[in-house]
Each structure stands twice: as C-alpha cells, then as structure tokens.
Amino acid sequence: MGTILARTRKDGTTGYMATVRIKKGGKVIFRETETFDREQAAKAWMKKRETELAVPGALTKPADPLMADVIDQYNQEKHKAHGKTKTQVLRTIKDSDFGKLRCSEATSPEIIKYLQTLTSQPQTRGNYLSHLAAVYSVARPAWGYPLDQQAAEDARVVAVKLGLISRSKQRTRRPTLDELDKLMAHYSAYELKNADPIPMRALILFSIFSTRRQEETCRITAEDLNAEHAELTVRDMKNPGEKIGNDVVTALTPEALQIIQRLGAKKGRIWPYNEGSVSASFTRACAILGIEDLRFHDLRHDGISRLFEMGWNIPRVATVSAHRSWQSLQRYTHVKQTGDKYQDWPWKKKLLGAT
C-alpha cells in the first residue's frame, strides 16, 4: 500500500518521499505523500498512516492532500495537454515549499508568501498565479478538496496592490517602410549568397498581412489551408488557460493567401523552420542594419493596425487576428483611417505582384 522513493535534492542531500495509496476497484481512491530527511522516519510515518487509514470510517473524512499531489492529479486528469510554459510553472510550484502545504493550509496569505519568493518579473509572477488559480478552480468542485477558489482571487487582488504581479506592457512599436526596405534588401542579398536560406522576406510579409505569431506561422501546413474560402486553421493557438488543442479557423487577407500560394507547398509544413531560428535571424538583421527595438512580434501589431487604418471594424479584424475577446482589440480603436500604407510599397509589388 505504501512506497518510499529516494530523491536527490538540489543541494545534494537525499530526501525520502513516502507515499500511501489506497485502491478500490483498480482505481486510486486515496493518496498521501510526505518527504523526510531520513528513510527510517519515512517508514515510521508510512506505517503510522497505514494503521490510521485501516480504521473503519477513516476514508470518509474529507481528504486534505498536499498541493503537490493536487497538482499531479490536475495534470493527470486534464484532458488537454498543457503548453510548455504551464507545464514548467506547475512543476516549479509543485517542487517548492508551497507544494508541501495541505489544501487547507494553501490560503491567500500563503500564496502571497510564495509569490514573494519568486525573483521573476511581475508579469511572470502573474503567470504563476494564473496557472495556480486554474488548479484551485478545479480542486473543490471536482474532487472535494478544501481548496478555496476565492483564496486565489483574493491573492490576485492583494498581489496587484503590492506590485507583485502586473500585465505585460503593451508594445506600440511598428516597423517603418524605410526599416522594412532595409530588411528586404538585406535578405535579398542573403538569399542570393546562401543555398537553402530561411525565406525571411516571405515570412516578414506573411506575418504582417496575416497577423500571425511566428510560432503559429512555423506550424502551418498545406493541409491547414482552405484556399477556396481564404481560410487558415491555426493549430494550438495561444490563449489564456489553454493552448494545446486550441485550433482556430482564421480568415486570410488577399496578400496572406497569395504568399502561401506562391510558395507552392503541396503537403506538410509551409515554413519548416524553428521559430527560435526565425526570431534570431530577424534580431541579427536588425542589429546589422541599426534598427533599434524592433521585434518579430511587432509585425503582428503592425498588421492589425494596418487593418484598422484601412477602415476595418473590430469584428472583421478579429476574423483575421483571431482575438477571442473583442476587448483586446479596443486598444486599436484610436487608430486613424489613413488607408493601406503598403498599397504602393515597391517590395509588396516585387514579391507579390499586383494585388
């Protein structure tokens, strides 16, 4: 019924993790874990708990497991896989002192104390709290654990007031046509010199005209394209609380559709490149050309701004940008309708022809 597992801690010492499990009908109906510095102490605790749990009615008492065990259960029973960031965050919380708390002990003050131990930026702490709150939202209604969802919400309010968490500042940087001219010329020369280069010119234009994120673009396959309806299925689209399996059908602007069609991919990934390599290439090019504070992700912001400048309304822009909440697009409502700044751009005509 019980097991002991020796684990080496970060400081080089050995911890003995004792786990007591009770199964019924082939399913685990109870699990409890404690970690000790000595194996003998782990054995003694395990024997004590097995004796206590053998008493009739012991299992009818409300379970109050460790947060580490609750996080494990959350991971195991979640039907959709987590993204890399959420997986890493939950693992870090699980392995921390916070993970050693029982549900009844994981109160709002304890959450604040944990956030204060993190040396991360406020935005990162905010991500930690969001992912932890997801566990709180499930634990009581799904499993009956004494984990109060309100505690996570109270902690959020306090954390904001203390400056522990904050949202990422919205960037307003957009590339100028002069900067894009330099980038296009740079990559034209680069593509001539290299046998199999990343087609950065097409990637840059597609990022602007499609408003797609670079990681989404690098996952696009020919099978995701519906050319007849000018639609593209974006796999695992980024969205708060979920990513893996969040597939969204988006509209393509005429320019974005034309870029894909001109590449001529019949199957598989259209841009079979690592997103990190794309970002690194863009960053190097900007450094060489003296273009300051321009990130690849700024191209998405430029593309969305362009649509508003062309007179598109929020619902129509959202079909392209795939913003689930129109509220996220409110920041663009001040954009003046100045028309399409790319209409007569020479590089657009050179790479796409007349559109």
pLDDT tens across 80-101, in order? 667 778 889 999 999 999 999 9
Angle, CA of 41, 71 and 123, to the nearest 5°:
120
Query: Both tokens of residue 16?
Result: 């003995």
Q: What is the pLDDT of residue 242?
A: 54
Greater pLDDT, 36 or 28: 36
State the average pLDDT over residues 326-341. Answer: 84
- β 248-251/231-234 pair status: antiparallel
CA 76, 78, 79, 84 torsion: positive or negative? negative
Helix ranges (H only) for the chain are 39-53, 67-77, 84-95, 108-117, 122-143, 149-162, 177-193, 200-210, 214-217, 254-263, 275-289, 298-309, 314-321, 346-352
3-state secondary structure of 195: coil
Cα radius of gyration rounded to whole Å, the chain: 26
What confidence category does residue 310 fall into, taking pLDDT thresholds of 50, 70 and 90?
Answer: very high
What confidence category does residue 355 fall into, taking pLDDT thresholds of 50, 70 and 90?
Answer: very low
- The mean predicted confidence, pLDDT, of the chain is 88
202-205: list long-range contacts, CB under 8 Å, 24+ apart: 202/259, 202/262, 202/263, 202/351, 203/271, 203/278, 204/180, 204/282, 204/299, 205/255, 205/259, 205/347, 205/348, 205/351, 205/352
At 280-291, the pLDDT tens digits run 999 999 999 999
At 144-157, the pLDDT tens digits run 898 988 899 999 99
Q: What is the pLDDT of residue 225?
A: 93
Give Cα separations from 279 to 78, 175, 213 (angstroms). 32, 15, 11
Q: What is the pTM for the complete model shown? A: 0.62
The answer to whether 306 and 256 are in contact (CB under 8 A) is: no
Identify the residue whose tokens are 């399409």: 340
The answer to whether 186 and 314 are in contact (CB under 8 A) is: no
Query: Both tokens of residue 323?
Result: 């913003």
Angle, CA of 67, 70 and 72, to the nearest 5°:
110
Helix ranges (H only) for 246-321 are 254-263, 275-289, 298-309, 314-321
* Residues 43, 235: Cα–Cα separation, whole Å: 48
* Residues 255, 207: Cα–Cα separation, whole Å: 11
